[in-house]
Structure 1
Amino acid sequence: MKQIGDATTPLEQALERAVVKAERFRDRPLRYAPVYGGISNSNFRVRLEDEPQEYFVKIPGAGTEMFIDRRAAFDASRKAAAAGLGPTVYDDLYDDGIEIHDFIADRRACTNSDLAREDTRLAAIGAYRKMHAIEALTLKKTVFDMIDEHVDQVAELGGWLPPDYTWLDRQYRLARSALEASGLDLTPCFNDPMPGNFMIGTDGSIMLIDYEYASMNDRCYDLGIWFGEMFFTPDQEAELIEAYFGEVRPEIVSRVTVHKALADVKWSLWSFVQQKVSALDFDYFKYGQWKLMRLRSIMNAPDWAMHLSRV
C-alpha cells in the first residue's frame, strides 16, 4: 500500500487530493491501494494506521456525471445502510460527489459461480426483497428514462449505433407501450447487479454495495436485469420468482423477461456513451456488442410477442 505523496498515476493523485480534504483522514497517517473490478470509477482501499476500520473510497470516473446523480446515490446508500443492507456511508466529501464507506473486510465479492448455487441465489433474492422495502428514494428513474437519456447522449457525442437500431428501437417502443399500459410497479431498485456488487459473508448472507444507479423503478426490472446478468436458466428464474412473489404467474414471467431485454438495451447504449467519455482501460464496445447479442436473442424469439401481450 502507498502513503500520501507516493502517487505515480493521475488516478492515485486524484485519490490523494481527495483524502487530504476529508475530515476523517486529514492530518492522519494512512495508506491506500487500488480496488480493481469497477467499470465506471476508480476505487481505493484506505487504511488509517491508528485504527482497525478500513475505508472504501470511490473517485467518480470521467463523464459519469452524464448518467449518475451523486446526491441520489448518497441518498440510496444511506437508506440501504440504515436497513442493514449496505455498508455505512460517510459524508466527508459529499459536496465533491466522492463516496467514503466502510470497507467490509469480513465479506468478499460474489462471482457468477457463487450465484449459480441455490443457497446464494436465495440469499440474494432476499436482499432484493429487503432493498425493495426500504424508504422511498429521492430519484425516480425508470428504465425508459435511462434508455432515452442514453439515446440523446449517443447522438450528442456522435457515438456508434448498431445497423439494426431502427428495428431495436421499434421493439423498445412496443415493450414500453405494453408496460406503461399495464402500469409500472415503482419501488426502490438497485439497478446494477454486477456479481461483484453482491458481498457474501461466511454465513452465506448477502449485502449490496454500489448504489450509483439506484432509483425508483419497476421491481421486475430489478429482477430482470439480475436474471440476465447471471444467465439463470428458466427453472432457476422460476425458483426465484416464486421465492420473491410466493408464486409463479405467466404475467410475472413475461414482465421479467421483457425487462431483461430492456436492461440490455440500456446497458448497450450506456457502453457506447462510455466508449466516448471514459478514461478507464475497458473494452466498452465489446461489452455493448455482448449486450446487443443477448437482447436480440430475446426479442427475436418466437415468444417475444406473447410476452408483450401478457405483461
Structure 2
Amino acid sequence: MTTTLELSGGRVLADRMDGTPTMASPSWWGADTVRLRGRLDDVAVHVRCYTGAARSYVNVSAAVAATEAAGAAGIGPAVVSWDVDAGEVVLADLTETHRTATLADGNSADFVRRYFEIRSRVGELTPNEARYATVFDDIRELSARLQDAGAAVPAELPFFLRVLDDAEKRIAAAGFDREFRHGDGNLSNVMVARDDASLLLLDWDLAAVMDPFQDLGVALVELAEDETHARELFEVAHGSVDEALLARSLFYGYADHVRQGLLGILVDALDPGSYEYSKFGDWQLLRARLALSGTRSGELLRRIDR
C-alpha cells in the first residue's frame, strides 16, 4: 500500500512494509512501529512510525537521540530526518545493501568477535539525550503499569521478582560502572552488509546509561546455547573469564527475559490482538522460567558478589 507522509524533512512517497502472518516463534515483526520504504528528495529511505502503544512505553526522544548518534558514528544507519512529536524516524534504506542477522550468524567466530566489538563501541557515543535505567528499573515500571491496567500476569511473577531483587542487591553491593549502551540483545536488530559483512545496530529503544555487563548479558543469553557456551562468549567479549562478572551478566540476561515478557503482556493489554508481542512475550517468560527455576540459578546468584 502506497501512502504519502509529510515529515519535517519533506514529503515521502512510501510503501508500507508488512510482516508475514503471525506464527508461533521466538521473534516478532517490528510490532512497535509501522514501517515504510520510499524516497525523500530522491534518496531511498526507511521510515519508522511508532505505534500509539509503543509511544506509551518508549522514551521516543531518547531513542531518536541514540539512533542519530549511532548513525553519525557509523554504528547504525544514517538518520535522514526525524519528528519526535509525531514518533517518526527516517533512516537510510539498507534493504538492498544489508541483511538481517540471525542466530546462525552466532556460529561464526568472526561474526561474534565483530558483534561484541560494535556493541562495545556504543560506549563511545554521547547522544544529546539518554535514559538512565537498569533492566531492574524497567521491570519495576512495567510491573506497576500492569497492575494499574489490571492485566493478567504469570503466577510465577512474584518469584521472578524476588530472585531478581536479590540479584540487583548483590550487583549493587559489588558495585558497577555506568556507560551508554545499546541494551537490546536480539540479533534481529543487527544488520550485516552484503559486501564486506560489516555490522550496524538497529532499534535503540532500550538504549540507556547502564552497567556495561547488562549489555553483555542480554547478548549472551541470545547467543549462548548453555552456560559453558556463555563462558566462552564472555571470554571473547571481555578478554578473560571472571566468574562473578559472568554470573552478573547472565542474571542481567535472565532479567531481560522477564522485562521482554512483561512488555509483551502490557502491549497485548494496550492493543488487544497484537499477537506479535504476546507470542514473543510468552517465549521470553518461558526462558525466564527455565533460567530462574533451575538449580544452577541459585549458585549463579551467590557467585555475583563473592
Where in structure 2 are there 5+ consecutive unaligned residues?
A: 20-28
Alignment of 1:44-123 (within 5 A): 44-48=36-40, 51=42, 53-104=43-94, 105-123=96-114
- Structure-2 change in CA distance of 1:233 and 1:117 (3 Å): farther
1:310 to 296, 303, 306: 303
Deviations 1:288-308 (A, max 9, x none): 232222112222222322222
| Deviation of the 1:35 alpha carbon | 5.4
Using the alignment, how far apart are the partners of 1:114 and 1:250 within structure 2? 26
Aligned pair 1:33/2:19, yes or no?
Answer: no
List aligned pairs for 1:233-248, cutoff 5 A: 233-248=226-241
Contact 1:40 1:280 (8 Å CA) reproduced: no
Aligned to 1:251: 244
Please say if 1:278 is aligned against 2:271: yes
State the match for 1:134 in structure 2: 125
Q: What is the 5 A alignment of 1:76-225?
A: 76-104=66-94, 105-135=96-126, 138-201=130-193, 202-225=195-218
**Which amino acid in the other structure matches residue 67 of structure 1?**
Y
Judged with a 3 Å threshold, the aligned counterparts in structure 2 of structure 1 residues 305 and 268 are, in CA distance, closer, same or farther, namely same
* Partner SS, residue 192 of structure 2: strand
- Aligned residue type for 2:89: E
* Secondary structure in structure 1 of the residue aligned to 2:85: helix
Q: Is the 8 A contact 1:187 1:217 kept in 2?
A: yes
Q: Identify if the C-alpha distance between structure 1 residues 177 and 102 changes in structure 2 by more than 3 Å, giving closer, same or farther.
A: same
Structure 1 pair 188–235 and aligned structure 2 pair: CA distance change class (3 A): same
Shift of 1:39: 2.5
Question: 1:25 is aligned with what amino acid?
Answer: R
Q: CA 1:229/1:160 → structure 2, altered by over 3 Å: closer, same or farther?
A: farther
Quick check: 205-214 or 226-235, which moved more? 226-235
The equivalent residue for 2:23 is none
What is the distance in 2 between the residues matched to 1:22 and 1:134?
25
Shift of residue 240 of structure 1?
Answer: 2.6
State the TM-score, normalized to the length of structure 2: 0.87
Describe the superposition over 1:87-110 as per-residue Cα deviations: whole angstroms up to 9, x where unpaired.
111344233221111112311111
SS at match of 2:10: coil
Deviates more, 1:82-91 or 1:231-240: 231-240
Aligned pairs, number: 292
Structure 1 CA distance, aligned partners of 2:227 and 2:253?
A: 13
Alpha carbons of structure 1 residues 307 and 127: separation in structure 2 relative to 1, 3 Å: same
Q: Residues 123 and 204 of structure 1 are in contact (CA less than 8 Å); yes or no, is this contact kept in structure 2? A: no
Aligned partner (choices 10, 27, 52) of residue 24 of structure 1: 10
What fraction of aligned residue pairs are identical, expressed as a percent?
23
Instruction: Report the alpha carbon displacement of residue 237 of structure 1 after superposing the two structures with TM.
Output: 2.4
SS of the aligned residue for 1:161 comes to: coil
Q: Counterpart amino acid of 1:46?
A: G
User: Structure 1's 164 and 210: CA in aligned 2 closer, same or farther, altered over 3 A?
Assistant: closer
Query: Gaps spanning 5+ residues in structure 1: where?
Result: 5-15
Shift of 1:281: 4.0
